[in-house]
């Protein structure tokens, strides 16, 4: 009887250890990576250069950064599927570079990045 209990305990420990050590497959993990340069317009708020820049997916912030003194920034975060946004604190006038399918959102505070695009470089983002 003791042998059966001992063997059952060892078997249970092995099964629990195997299940608990299972890690997620790295092939389904992606990161969204966006870099660019901001240019202030004549009416831009001066605090734009000290405001955070966010990557937003499914109404959740997945990445945050602050621009350098020269307006350059890099932001990255976990990406699953669907469109996501590059969100600013001031209204965007225009942008160059990136993907031709990117567009300025209706509120002019963000750039919508289409599903499947995980790496972007914006040469210039101009603000109103």
| Digit-coded pLDDT (tens) for 35-73 | 999 988 776 666 777 889 999 999 999 999 999 988 999
pTM as predicted: 0.74
**How sure is the predictor about 24, in pLDDT bands with cuts at 50, 70 and 90?**
very low
| CATH fold for the domain made of 26-127 | Immunoglobulin-like (2.60.40)
Q: Are 110 and 86 in contact (CB under 8 A)?
A: yes
Q: Are 74 and 34 in contact (CB under 8 A)?
A: yes
Structure letter (DSSP) for residue 125: E
- Beta-carbon contacts of residue 101 (< 8 Å; ≥ 6 apart): 114, 117
Q: Give how far the C-alpha of residue 20 lies from the chain's centroid of Cα atoms, to the nearest Å.
A: 28
Structure letter (DSSP) for residue 18: H
- The 3-state DSSP class for residue 74 equals strand
CA 88 → CA 19, 29, 64, 114, distances in Å? Answer: 43, 26, 10, 17
pLDDT at 27 over 70: no
Tell me which residue of 87, 91, 74 sits closest to 126, measured CA to CA.
91
């Amino acid at each position: 009887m003791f042998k059966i209990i001992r063997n059952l305990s060892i078997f249970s420990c092995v099964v629990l250890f195997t299940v608990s050590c299972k890690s997620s497959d790295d092939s389904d993990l992606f990161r969204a990576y966006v870099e660019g340069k901001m240019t202030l317009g004549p009416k831009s708020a001066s605090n734009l250069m000290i405001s955070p820049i966010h990557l937003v997916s499914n109404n959740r912030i997945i990445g945050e950064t602050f621009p350098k003194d020269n307006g350059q920034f890099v932001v990255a975060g976990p990406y699953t599927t669907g469109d996501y946004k590059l969100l600013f604190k001031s209204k965007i006038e225009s942008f160059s570079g990136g993907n031709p399918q990117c567009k300025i959102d209706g509120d002019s505070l963000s750039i919508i990045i289409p599903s499947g695009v995980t790496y972007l470089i914006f040469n210039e983002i101009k603000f109103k």
